[in-house]
Structure 1
Amino acid sequence: MAEEGTLLSDPVAIRPVAGRIDAVVTVPGSKSITNRALLCAALAAGTSRLEGVLFADDTDAMLGCVSALGASVEIDRARCVVTVQGTGGRILDPQTPLDARQSGTTARFIAASLLLSPQGRLLGASPQMRDRPMGPTFEALRALGAQVDDGERPGHLPATISGAAQHRQPTVVLPGDVSSQFISGLLLVAPCLAHGLRIELSTAAVSAPYLSMTISVMRSFGARVTTAGGVFVVEPGGYRACDYSIEPDASAASYFFAAAAICGGRVRIDGLGDRSIQGDVGFVDVLADMGAVVERGPSSITVAGGELRGIDVDLSDISDTAQTLAAVAVFANGATRVRGIGFIRAKETDRIAAVVTELRRCGIGAVETDDGFEITPA
């Protein structure tokens, strides 16, 4: 029975698939790319048109925040299009409240963007997001001269943030092993700083493909970024408006690829392929290692079922697919060990504990480890 005050989703009846599946699936746009593109467009000079936009709570939070920063936004939900008149790297609205809701990307990205605000702005969030860490972002902002008042609960939202004038290219040092979102937030605002920014990582980055995604989106909007050996250098110069097409969400696609692997059928998803900027397309390589049949093309990926076997795999670069892989592992011959994902305990919930708990409720052998989990099919 749920504890008093716990909010539960409405129950959903799930009917087993009768036989093999054979489908071409249309997947909504990438949440991660959408939020990066929205912020770049909002800070750009000129009008940008974004196609394939995902509309969800996280992206609605970003839309609300960029509007509150002064960008003019026109939304066509039916066509998944957003048109943004950017601010040219300035904060034009000094008063409208900022609410990140439950969105980690919105919280980390908007907090960093307040380096551009000459006046203190209060950034709020949902109770759930208030429990998630913001310390690395706040420490970096302070190192850059910003004022951060997080006195209600240090290292967490809500916080009031105001920027500071720069006199030289600054350097900040960030940990890479907590969340790539802290790094991406600083990267995204950097082109709009008077002297750019140099970021040095004190530890190896987790979810490194998300940093590559951030840089790819930035470059599409005209930013100049170089990276080598855990050092990122962003030149000043701002962003240029552009027309930008957002890929289907590779994390969401993983569910359908997993269904094909489990059910012995076949699923094709268009819009993802060899040129994808999303690291989570690498999930299909993990499925291939388990015995699924994978076909990659320049603009589509097809997965077909095979005889699945357990594997030992490091998912630190594609941690958002860990729960999906856990479901696949249940149907494999032999145990599966997932490593390198200890940092996902600090997401909206402890994802490692959650997946192990729910699998055990289904009678599956599952145990937590320090940095992941092990699953032994019944």
Structure 2
Amino acid sequence: MSHNIILKKSNKTVNGTVRLTGSKSECNRALVIEALSEGRVKVQNVSDAADTVTLAGILRNVERGVANAELAGSNHGPWTMDHGLNTVNIGPAGTAMRFLTAYFAIQPGEVVLTGSARMKQRPIGILVDALRALGANIDYVENDGYPPIKLKDGFVQRTRVINIKGNISSQYITALLLIAAKLPHGLELHIEGDLTSRPYVEMTLAMLNQAGIQHKWNGNVISIEHQQFSETSLPVEPDWSAASYWYAIAALSDEAELFLPGLTQYSLQGDSAITEIMANFGITSQFKDGGVHLKKEPKPLGRKIFDMKECPDLAQTVIVVCAALGHEATFTGLETLKIKETDRVKALQTELAKIGVKLIEKGQVYKLDCSQKFIPEQLFINTYEDHRMAMAFAPLALVVPQIEFEEAAVVEKSYPAFWSDLESVGFSTEFTA
């Protein structure tokens, strides 16, 4: 049964230490690298995010070579039998869908890869087209361009050169890069136009490099030759995306001193950009004692334009902070938000309207209009089965006396301890039926 949660904060002071789970972005890449390495690579500090748990379980079953007969009626998590085929249901895990599409494309055997109702609305066609061009045998089960998909035996590499648009999800590009070294002739990826979420592609290449996979990146071309993974371990840093919500909490507080252990100043994660973004709101970041210390300092708001192209997962967080403060900022780089767990632009517009704030879309530019902003005594936030909607709006409990969130468990997708971590620094929570 799904429960809602009521969140309150009796004062606007926040102090404490919060230990964050491993980065979902890093861990999902590391798990696929581990699976492709044939035992040479081991992952350390595996995230407990639901998406990562799902992906890890699927890859463990592949490693065990679980046979069709064993899968029928078994308790192997997301695996089921369907007309003699292995069916893997990844639920709402978008990263897993993209990465496993590439992974299973080069594996022996046949599998149907499916997901939640929303997952079946999220496009996969660009990645499938690229994999087909490489030599994969993939069919659509229901609607062309969308999951579920059937991946079949018979991969024979036809080309090493693939063209792909840079302004689509970086997860398509990462999925191809992860399998590149296993391709008989390697991969030469030509990126057309500007590259969205560049830090995520850089993260992928850096982690592959840690695992012994070399690459060349000249202009818009990334090349990876066929090569073997090295014996190594991949340590996963705590999640900077999760850290962003604590920066937002600090920004909406009167006083804040928080310590987030394990985070480093020079991170592979693009969402570490939150340190620079939140400096505009008076949040200082001091890296010492094996982590980052956040502190709220008085500072007038100045920055009016935020380009989120390289860190789109921070967009909801920053937009909600600006709305709460009545800061009429302008945002760019939100193109990929419409194909996430929900249409995040529409969801933001709907929920911000509950405090009188408009997010006005003009082409690829979005502007906040806070002229009618008001603070209600109570607020109900719909989460749209999107973990980031819940966590981005949670800091509003420092401004609104009482907020109720739909489907408290939605945060388990990336940050299962979110509500209990809020309790540890003085927020009160109450679950409702």
Please state which band the TM-score falls in when normalised by the shorter chain: 0.7 to 0.9
Q: 1:357 aligns with which of 347, 350, 356?
A: 350
Alpha-carbon distance in 2 for matches of 1:20, 1:177: 40
Asked if 1:245 is matched to 2:238, the reply is no
Q: Give the C-alpha shift of residue 347 in structure 1.
A: 0.8
Q: Give the C-alpha shift of residue 365 in structure 1.
A: 4.0
> 1:42, 1:71 within 8 Å by CA — same for their partners in 2?
no
State the partner residue of 1:23.
Answer: 16
State the partner residue of 2:225.
Answer: 235
Q: Give the C-alpha shift of residue 193 in structure 1.
A: 1.1
Q: Give the C-alpha shift of residue 256 in structure 1.
A: 0.5
Q: Give the C-alpha shift of residue 284 in structure 1.
A: 1.5
> 2:92, 2:118 within 8 Å by CA — same for their partners in 1?
yes
Q: Give the C-alpha shift of residue 298 in structure 1.
A: 9.3
Aligned residue pairs: how many? 350
The percentage of counterpart residues that share the same residue type is: 29
> 1:25, 1:268 within 8 Å by CA — same for their partners in 2?
yes
The answer for unaligned runs of 5 or more in structure 1 is 1-7, 74-93
The amino acid that maps onto 1:147 is N
The amino acid that maps onto 1:61 is T
Please identify, of 118-127 and 108-117, the stretch whose mean Cα deviation from structure 2 is larger: 118-127
Asked if 1:344 is matched to 2:334, the reply is no
The amino acid that maps onto 2:292 is I
Q: Give the C-alpha shift of residue 183 in structure 1.
A: 0.3
State the partner residue of 1:278.
Answer: 269
Please identify, of 25-34 and 142-151, the stretch whose mean Cα deviation from structure 2 is larger: 142-151
Task: Pick 1 or 2: higher relative contact order, CA cutoff 8 A, min separation 6.
Answer: 2
State the partner residue of 1:113.
Answer: 103
Q: Is the partner of 1:148 in helix, strand or coil?
A: strand
Alpha-carbon distance in 2 for matches of 1:19, 1:101: 37
State the partner residue of 1:63.
Answer: 56
> 2:41, 2:229 within 8 Å by CA — same for their partners in 1?
no
Asked if 1:302 is matched to 2:293, the reply is yes
- Change in Cα spacing, 1:71 to 1:208, as seen in structure 2 (3 Å) is farther
- Change in Cα spacing, 1:17 to 1:220, as seen in structure 2 (3 Å) is farther
Alpha-carbon distance in 1 for matches of 2:48, 2:174: 21
Q: Is the partner of 1:302 in helix, strand or coil?
A: strand
Alpha-carbon distance in 1 for matches of 2:28, 2:244: 20
Q: Give the C-alpha shift of residue 266 in structure 1.
A: 2.1
- Change in Cα spacing, 1:357 to 1:170, as seen in structure 2 (3 Å) is same
Q: 2:311 aligns with which of 307, 315, 318?
A: 318
> 2:251, 2:281 within 8 Å by CA — same for their partners in 1?
no
Please identify, of 153-162 and 363-372, the stretch whose mean Cα deviation from structure 2 is larger: 363-372
> 1:173, 1:200 within 8 Å by CA — same for their partners in 2?
yes
> 2:140, 2:149 within 8 Å by CA — same for their partners in 1?
yes
The amino acid that maps onto 1:67 is R
Q: 1:259 aligns with which of 233, 249, 254?
A: 249
Q: Is the partner of 1:23 in helix, strand or coil?
A: strand
Please identify, of 30-39 and 47-56, the stretch whose mean Cα deviation from structure 2 is larger: 47-56
Q: Is the partner of 2:171 in helix, strand or coil?
A: helix
Alpha-carbon distance in 1 for matches of 2:365, 2:169: 16
Q: 1:50 aligns with which of 36, 43, 49?
A: 43
Q: How does 1:105-184 map to 2 (within 5 A)?
A: 105-162=95-152, 163-166=154-157, 170-184=160-174
> 2:105, 2:138 within 8 Å by CA — same for their partners in 1?
no
Alpha-carbon distance in 2 for matches of 1:332, 1:121: 49
Alpha-carbon distance in 1 for matches of 2:261, 2:329: 29
The amino acid that maps onto 1:282 is A
Q: Is the partner of 2:349 in helix, strand or coil?
A: helix
- Change in Cα spacing, 1:299 to 1:311, as seen in structure 2 (3 Å) is farther
> 1:195, 1:235 within 8 Å by CA — same for their partners in 2?
yes
Q: Give the C-alpha shift of residue 188 in structure 1.
A: 0.3
- Change in Cα spacing, 1:344 to 1:293, as seen in structure 2 (3 Å) is same
> 2:47, 2:53 within 8 Å by CA — same for their partners in 1?
no
Alpha-carbon distance in 2 for matches of 1:56, 1:232: 30
Q: Give the C-alpha shift of residue 139 in structure 1.
A: 0.5
Deviations along 1:70-96, one digit per CA (max 9) or x if unpaired, are 3589xxxxxxxxxxxxxxxxxxxx964
CA RMSD of aligned residues (A): 2.3
Q: Give the C-alpha shift of residue 372 in structure 1.
A: 5.3
- Change in Cα spacing, 1:148 to 1:344, as seen in structure 2 (3 Å) is same
Q: Is the partner of 1:265 in helix, strand or coil?
A: strand
> 1:147, 1:161 within 8 Å by CA — same for their partners in 2?
yes
The amino acid that maps onto 2:62 is L
Q: Give the C-alpha shift of residue 217 in structure 1.
A: 1.5
> 1:179, 1:206 within 8 Å by CA — same for their partners in 2?
yes
Asked if 1:269 is matched to 2:260, the reply is yes
Q: Is the partner of 1:360 in helix, strand or coil?
A: helix
Q: Give the C-alpha shift of residue 165 in structure 1.
A: 2.3
The amino acid that maps onto 2:259 is R
Q: Is the partner of 1:374 in helix, strand or coil?
A: strand
Q: Is the partner of 2:4 in helix, strand or coil?
A: coil
Deviations along 1:157-194, one digit per CA (max 9) or x if unpaired, are 11112352237x61101111110000000000111111
The answer for unaligned runs of 5 or more in structure 2 is 67-83, 374-433
Q: Give the C-alpha shift of residue 151 in structure 1.
A: 4.7
State the partner residue of 2:215.
Answer: 225
State the partner residue of 2:176.
Answer: 186
Please identify, of 100-109 and 246-255, the stretch whose mean Cα deviation from structure 2 is larger: 100-109
Q: Is the partner of 2:6 in helix, strand or coil?
A: coil
- Change in Cα spacing, 1:55 to 1:360, as seen in structure 2 (3 Å) is same
Alpha-carbon distance in 2 for matches of 1:293, 1:46: 42
- Change in Cα spacing, 1:72 to 1:248, as seen in structure 2 (3 Å) is farther
The alignment's TM-score, normalised by the length of structure 1, stands at 0.86
